[in-house]
Structure 1
Amino acid sequence: MTLDYGFIWTAFVALLEVVPVTLAITVVSVLCGFVIGASVALARQFRVPVLSQLGAAYVTFIRGTPMITHLLLIYFGLPMLIDSIAAALGLGFRSVSIPMIGFAYVSFSITAGAYMSEVVRSGLLAVDRGQLEAAHAVGMTTAQAMKRIILPQALAASLPNLSNMLIGMLHGSTLAFTVSVVEINAKAQIVATTNWKFFEAYLAAALLFWGLTFLIERLTALAERRFRRYYRGGVS
């Protein structure tokens, strides 16, 4: 077999046009997942009645089922729920007006939230509880202590895991093709069908994913160094 290097470059250039779709899925799911995960982690950390138990059940279910299952459940289940509510309220809105990428956003955010909750919780556990007690001793409320002392340190401790989470969601975005969202991997398949050079097309996709992953790793390393300088007093 002879590689068609020219087609690899052609495919690579064609894939660039859908990079924003892949990045949008990744960024939206990670940001929304962080909000969900942080809320669940705090509820479990402070043992909030009912919410703590619900959060634990949510994390257990999501982590115990495949990511593609979440996507398919949302894709087939959410329209039924939306249409039922709209019909009950007499609204004209129907689920068919929702863009396909919207289902990917919802599904991946829910998935990311469960894993992110464990990332945030591990960061919280890494911070000495005595710091919270010391903050209380100088008159800070729990909310103030969390905002000024605990959460910044927890975030710093969680950076490597957050990086892994971001990379995992970047790679997981390829599942969006299941619900007809054209991202990098899906575009590679479409490009390859023009002349059946699937290996070259997927090789171009692999190189693009590798480049994006490398960029995330470098940015995370820079953030880690900045946090270390901050806690050593090197940044004012």
Structure 2
Amino acid sequence: MTAGIVDLTELQRDAFTELVNIGVSKAAASLRKMIGVQVLLSVPAVEIVSQAQAARMIGEREASELVVVQQDFTGAFAGRALLIFPEENGRELVRAVAGEELSAEEVAELEDEALTETGNVILNGCLATMANLLQRTLSMSLPEVRRGDGPRIFQSAGDDSADALVLFLYINFSVRERDIRGYIAMLMDLPALESLKVLIDGFIERAIGETEP
């Protein structure tokens, strides 16, 4: 199976990128309420790749271990959402969220809790907003924190997901004047991606209908 089977048209890709951008903006607003400072997130591009390609893309960019917050989602389309940081960026995010004055030991103690809470806000906010714009609802599992390199993260995503494709997003965070880079990945099988494409087409039709006189 290759990603080419579910290639998005340019219009579908633009529409999906817009959905993601709105979702991430909503998540940033929720994060800002949680920590009380401005949070900027940007999503420059969306790609559909295989799990092996996603692992390779992260491996080419990140030499360090990765920390991941993951949540399963079910509903009109289903899959697993991953919020991925290089380990040091994860610690920076903890300091930004929990406070500048923390010692290294305190950061280590709070890391999983802060990452879980942050990941839950970002992934839930992003996916719930996207589902709402697609006029559907999603249910989200509780977040889990995992660590490992790219191949381990994607290969251990579930025994039944060897053929899953990955909607891969590179994101930039700016929190408390810290630049924190990360990734959002959505692992979905072919039927789920086809369902998502149908929903995106409906979103495009509604958008076009609203702009016509």
What's the TM-score, normalizing by structure 2? 0.28
**Larger % of helix: which?**
1
**Larger % of strand: which?**
2
State the structure with more CA Rg. 1
